[in-house]
Amino acid sequence: MEKWPNNKAWFLVLPAFIIVAFSGIIPLMTVVNYSIQDIFGPGEAVFVGTEWFKEMLGNHRLHDALWRQFMFSGLVLLIEIPLGILIALAMPKRGWGVSASLVILALPLVIPWNVIGTIWIIFTRPDIGLFGVGINSLDLLEVPFDHTAKPIYAWITLLAMEVWHWTPLVALLAYAGLRAIPEAYFQAAKIDGASAWATFLYIQLPKMRGVLTIAVLLRWMDSFLIYAEPFALTGGGPGNTTTFLSIYLVKLATMQFDLGPAAAFSLIYFLIVLLFSFAFYQALLNVGRGEKA
């Protein structure tokens, strides 16, 4: 390879490098630093190696939070992705309905997380909330609906909040994917006598592969990192039933001030997100490929 006589161009990368360093690398390294030391006070740190990691991997409260987290993210994906696709399929393709439905869909996306929490708390309150009062007046439930009353109620409220907030994103992505399919594909499918289901399975779904990959990754990461909603709703309760990983982590780090274990936990958390994102990406990239007759 030919060498450039002047390498000063590297300096142009410097601003970007500094920004990335301060926003990513240095904080991450700080966490790594905490995770392998026991810090008693300024200047009083003891190197402990992998002790925090071992402790955290054996921590039952972390295990519980992790399973809760998987359950939650799994449910989120199972509801949001098919629902988003259904909404996208049902959306109008031309006329004023397009703009109208796009604006309506985008509304939940522009509302801040904490506001969403407040909206839903008020909406589901058993004394003044439309939903809470409404469902309790039907007198169907053994225990009257109140998101602090039973774990299942808290979960339903959280899932409803999350689905209401983020399904529009999936729908918008899926809609963009659908609109990008040339009309000739549908005409060919008609001529080939394909049913609506076959058209969906062999044309629309494969053509949405790219946007759905993005949707799954975004919703996976975001729901796995969920914090504001359960914090606003019950702060992790009732009991520990909505204590997800990030809620537990924040408790550990800022309330109990166990920085070492919290740092080790953060790194494990980070690796789990990374690993699963990679797995989803690979799976979605390759699903339905290499099919043989």
Q: Which residues bind another protein (CB under 8 A)?
A: 182, 184-185, 187-188, 190-195, 198, 202-203, 206-207, 288-293
Residues 232/215, Cβ–Cβ less than 8 Å:
no
Question: Of 42 and 290, which has the nearer Cβ to another protein?
Answer: 290
Question: Of 24 and 288, which has the nearer Cβ to another protein?
Answer: 288
Distance in Å, CB of 192 to another protein, minimum: 4
Distance in Å, CB of 127 to another protein, minimum: 53
Q: Which of 276, 255, 252, 254 is nearest to 265 (CA)?
A: 252
Residues 243/236, Cβ–Cβ less than 8 Å:
yes
Question: Of 138 and 191, which has the nearer Cβ to another protein?
Answer: 191
- How far apart CA 241 and CA 11 sit, in angstroms, is 51
Question: Of 172 and 208, which has the nearer Cβ to another protein?
Answer: 208
Q: Is 164 helix (H, G, I), strand (E, B) or coil?
A: helix
Question: Of 1 and 293, which has the nearer Cβ to another protein?
Answer: 293
- How far apart CA 263 and CA 269 sit, in angstroms, is 10
- Looking from the CA of 161 toward its CB, the CA atoms found within 13 Å total 31
Distance in Å, CB of 188 to another protein, minimum: 4
Distance in Å, CB of 206 to another protein, minimum: 5
Distance in Å, CB of 210 to another protein, minimum: 12
Question: Of 41 and 193, which has the nearer Cβ to another protein?
Answer: 193
Q: Per the structure block, which two tokens stand in for 65?
A: 């939070």
Distance in Å, CB of 211 to another protein, minimum: 15
- Please name the amino acid found at residue 184: A
* All residues at 6 or more sequence positions from 260 whose CB lies less than 8 Å from its CB, including other chains: 34, 35, 37, 38, 39, 48, 52
CB burial string 57-96: b at 16+ within 10 A, e below: eebeebeebbebbeebbebbbebbbeebbebbeebeeeee
Note the residue count of the chain.
293
Distance in Å, CB of 132 to another protein, minimum: 46
Question: Of 134 and 288, which has the nearer Cβ to another protein?
Answer: 288
Distance in Å, CB of 220 to another protein, minimum: 23
Question: Of 30 and 282, which has the nearer Cβ to another protein?
Answer: 282
Sole residue written with tokens 């300024």: 42
Residues 169/211, Cβ–Cβ less than 8 Å:
no
Question: 44 has which bridge partners?
Answer: 41
